Structure 1
Amino acid sequence: MLYLSQQGTGLSVEELEKIRKENENLKKKLEKTEDKFDELEARLQCPICLSDYNDQQHYTVKIKCGHVFGKSCLQKAFTRSGVSPHCPICKKASKIQQAIRIYI
């Protein structure tokens, strides 16, 4: 006896079940890939302003502690912190002169 989903396919119940399971596995892999993409996309945004980096004033720089920011945001953050500039994330002392441009 053929089920409605089998009509015209020429596939057995076992073959259709195998295809259904493969489809479920592919959907799970796609969801994981989308999650990884979202994580990567978040890394491409400045953690201060949450805007994308660009090649003008808001390019990526890494400071001594390893955190990455947009150059213009980092300059503003260091200016606001006064005499002892520090990383906006971990609060380790740093200087804008020590910021290294990175290309991503």
Structure 2
Amino acid sequence: RELRARLLDALEIAATALASRVEARRDHEPLDEWQTFVNLRAEYVEAVSLGGVELRRLAFQDVHGPVCSLAVWLWNVRGEKAIANAMFQWLLDEAIVVDDAEAIRLQEKNVNCGV
């Protein structure tokens, strides 16, 4: 239980840091943006591996907004469509798992924009 709480706290901190960076428009090189996403996704996977769907749903709420904002920025402003689309696809896959209807609708729209 304590480990799970620590992992969720670390995930929330990482997601908040990403959200702040995106909001401030502090960009990184595309490969570094991808690595940031991969690292956050790994933290997410580690945290949700310790619980059921309710824990996964809680963790998804922490990462959905920041990852989506990063992907939208990469798509709309920076022209990194392939990286953004991969992020949208992961968000869609997770939204389906946690049964988040609003996130599913949004990410289906984003994924359908193509590459």
Relative to the length of structure 1, the TM-score reads 0.28
Larger relative helix fraction? 2
More contact order relative to length (CA 8 Å, sep ≥ 6):
2
Relative to the length of structure 2, the TM-score reads 0.27
Larger Rg: 1
